Amino acid sequence: MSFRVFVSGSGNFQYIRNGVDFGDVYELGDGLNRMTSVSGGVSSFVQDEVTGAATPDSPLQQMLNTMGQISGFDLLRSSVTITLATMSPIHIHLAARQSNWLMPDISRGCTLLLSVRDHAPVRGFLQDITPVLDATEMRTFGVLAALAAVFSNFSVSGGRAPVDGSYRLLIQLSH
């Protein structure tokens, strides 16, 4: 599965990525684990297991997903911290949308202000975006890494808004 990232910000900043992977590569671990656990070896696996559905609820898959989320949160935390070192305050609006074929789309959003003067700005940022990402099923390594890339690129090329001298970011995620 893939998702789209569209970001617009102060100083004519734009960042657009289509077809970004959610991080489903971690499902490879489940396949490798099942391949080595089959008594007849790889040929038996190919004959018996390839046609069967992979289980995304396996303990190994859950562990790999959790490790990916932890790595993604750490990457995002570092990227936001570095951005705040040179650009503060930042007004952020994050909008996430999950499209469904049979049911209405699920959309969530949050607006926040990040400032170096806050006690723990990155922790507050992560606390605010986590429910949005959870509601739209986007709390994955791929989404967190894409958000980290947004902040990394914004810190290099973002500019000040002429009105009040603050930085602004509009982040839209959709799948």
**pTM, full prediction:** 0.76
Spell out the domain ranges in the chain. Answer: 2-24+65-174
- Give the residue among 172, 112, 108 at the shortest CA–CA distance from 135: 108
Does the N-terminal peptide bond of residue 59 adopt cis geometry, omega within 30 degrees of 0?
A: no
Of all residues in the chain, the percent with pLDDT exceeding 90 is 23
Output 152 or 52, whichever has higher pLDDT: 152
63 token code pair: 């562990």
Over residues 103-134, the pLDDT tens digits come to 888 999 999 999 888 888 888 888 999 999 99
Max CA pair span of the chain: 69
- CA–CA distance, 19 with 99 (Å, rounded to integer): 15
- CA–CA distance, 96 with 91 (Å, rounded to integer): 17
Contact between 169 and 147 under an 8 Å Cβ cutoff? The reply is: no
Question: What's the rounded mean pLDDT across residues 4-26?
Answer: 78
Query: Residue 155 pLDDT > 60, yes or no?
Result: yes
